Structure 1
Amino acid sequence: MQRGIYIVANDRVIDNAIALLNSIRFYDEKVLVYLIPFNENYQNVANILTRFHQVQVFPYLEFLEQFTQTIGEIFPKDFLALPNKMRKLAVWFGPLDEFIYIDTDIIVFEKIADSLNQLAEVDFFCCDYHHRSEGLQNIFSSLVKEQQIFTEEQLQDVFNSGFWASRKGVITQQMMEETLRECAMHKEYFDFSCGVTDQPILNYLVLKHITKRRNLVKTPEGEPGSWAGSPHFQEKDYVLYDSDRRLKYLHWAGTPIKPGGSYWKLWEHYRYLHEVREDKVPLLQRLFRR
């Protein structure tokens, strides 16, 4: 059985991808990692991640292109803000039997693949407080509750689409296509008001088809928060803590990664973990290089 991690990236997010992989490899040198190209402009990020972190490019590129084409045929042009974000749904049809999907605006603080042991008991897990902090915002409109598309209990399981895990075969290609067509007929079910793309559709897919699911923050052991917009996390040795609880990961969802921004110095540490930045080299040393 093959276990590992999927990411979606192109050259535009190369710095984020490097920071993420630096953090993953800091805690785990061997876990399989596959890069799903966001579009055709991915050669630079693929070369760097392959060279330094043994990342492999998703091997079924022809399937990925066909999958993207099918999504374009199913959804009207004004339905999805960034249709290629839907490529993350191809994880159910990739080489990994059990997998974690991780957005590139994340860094991790542990051997994250160990979380896959949760799949011994469930078919899907996530680890976030979206259900508490945002409720249905950026996922569903009020119609799903009014028309009882999902129960109140099901709607307590909504999640952020940046970090989650499942296993191959839980979603079949037929289930995927039928559900996407169903979603395309009911744009009124979804909240795209803030420009999200894949998150509402992924939630619909999971809530409808995967009954054995778990949010790790709801387990008796629980997990601390993970959103970079939370200002109270404390840093120690380039790891964040919520009081005395070590974070599993940090996600900049909707929060810019930029100088002066939330936890910028921490992100910068992981981005340049194995590099000497030019602006950190003393001026005289830079002059003698020329």
Structure 2
Amino acid sequence: MRGIYITANDKFTEQAIALLNSIRHYDPDVSITLIPYDENYHEVAALLKEQYGVKVYADLAFIERLSQKLYDIFGAGFFARPNQFRKQACWFGEYDEFLYIDTDIVVFEAIAQNLDALQTYDFLCCDYQHRGGIGNVFSPKIFSDGVLVERDRASLFNGGWWAAKKNLLSEQDLYDTFAECAAHPDYFDFSQKTSDQPIINYMILKRIPPERRFNLVNRPGGAPGSWAGSPQFVPLGDDALADPNCDGQRLQYLHWAGIRITPGCPYWRIWKHYRYLHSDAIPADPPPPPPPSWVEQVKRRVRRLF
């Protein structure tokens, strides 16, 4: 079986609607399963089931046990968003081949078709995270101590989009990985409040051989970008974007990682298009906030200085 996992709770219903509208627009039949982000998920789960046929992960008790054990390894208060680790239940769910997608994404193709590459590889990602350096993932010490080698820098990936095979890693692999990371927190960059991305990168790099993992942007002919913080994308109508830095290729998906999705954010019109794809009425954007007063400008300059 093939399918897509997402995580969400009631707070992120709007993002989940936009994501599901885009997935179903290009692939009406792919199976999708919700991993609840926390206990406040019943409203979004009911909506996604009714409108998009999304199932809830069958073994909720397992998710609780898994996430609590992973949390306990590092200790209370270490991670800013420990519930991000609930997505690790993907390894043990119903799909033999699966794709995990964050809800701050919209897709521009039948995204599950990328799972075809699992005929050759065991793990897939699809982004240019590695070009931005090791920030939000590792500290230089993990390389200087020889835990990772220099070639591993080119394999860093964003934790919001990845694909793999069921049971490729065991539950004990997860616990052992977290214990290794907890013993050396100085190997990781948690300065920007990231939680799962450093750990999952370490786990994949250490436990899956290089020849069994593949970043789809390295395919022949190259691949377009996917981060909404990239300013060069140009619209292809109202429902897609192209990357002029990659021969005008159509983007596969767009990810607002680290960007708050609100009016005025990068590529807001694309997100709004998918959020209201099947709505009779599309709300008008609120007016932009007034410019800060000179007093507020002075306060901001003082805060930047001190």
Separation (CA, whole Å) in 2 of partners of 1:136 and 1:267 = 28
Separation (CA, whole Å) in 1 of partners of 2:226 and 2:154 = 18
Residues 205-228 of structure 1: CA distance to partner in whole angstroms, max 9, x if unpaired?
Answer: 100111110011112232110010
Q: Larger deviation: 70-79 or 120-129?
A: 70-79
3-state SS of 2:220 partner: coil
3-state SS of 1:140 partner: coil
Residues 31-90 of structure 1: CA distance to partner in whole angstroms, max 9, x if unpaired?
Answer: 010000000000111011100000000111010011122122211223211111111111
3-state SS of 1:204 partner: helix
Which residue of structure 2 lines up, in the alignment, with residue 224 of structure 1? 224
Which residue of structure 1 lines up, in the alignment, with residue 249 of structure 2? 245
Question: Mapping of 1:98-109 within 5 angstroms?
Answer: 98-109=97-108
Cα root mean square deviation, aligned: 1.1
Which residue of structure 1 lines up, in the alignment, with residue 173 of structure 2? 175
Q: Which runs of 4+ in 1 moved over 2 A?
A: 276-280
Residues 210-248 of structure 1: CA distance to partner in whole angstroms, max 9, x if unpaired?
Answer: 111001111223211001011111112211101220000
CA contact (8 A) 1:79 1:187 kept: no
Alignment partner of 1:42 is 2:46 = no
3-state SS of 1:80 partner: coil
3-state SS of 1:181 partner: helix
> What's the TM-score, normalizing by structure 1?
0.94
CA contact (8 A) 2:276 2:282 kept: no
Which residue of structure 2 lines up, in the alignment, with residue 121 of structure 1? 120
Q: Larger deviation: 66-75 or 140-149?
A: 66-75
**When the two structures are aligned, how many residues end up with a matched partner?**
278
Which residue of structure 2 lines up, in the alignment, with residue 164 of structure 1? 162
CA contact (8 A) 2:111 2:252 kept: yes
Separation (CA, whole Å) in 2 of partners of 1:159 and 1:175 = 20
Alignment partner of 1:76 is 2:75 = yes
Separation (CA, whole Å) in 2 of partners of 1:233 and 1:152 = 31
- Flag structure 2 segments of 5+ consecutive residues without an equivalent: 285-306
CA contact (8 A) 2:138 2:187 kept: yes
Aligned-residue offset at 1:265: 1.1
3-state SS of 1:107 partner: strand
Residues 125-176 of structure 1: CA distance to partner in whole angstroms, max 9, x if unpaired?
Answer: 10111101x2110000111111011111122101110101000021011111
- Flag structure 1 segments of 5+ consecutive residues without an equivalent: 281-290
- Once the two structures are aligned, what percentage of the paired residues are identical? 50
- CA gap of 1:278–1:152, structure 2 versus 1, over 3 A, is closer
> What's the TM-score, normalizing by structure 2?
0.89
Separation (CA, whole Å) in 2 of partners of 1:62 and 1:140 = 32
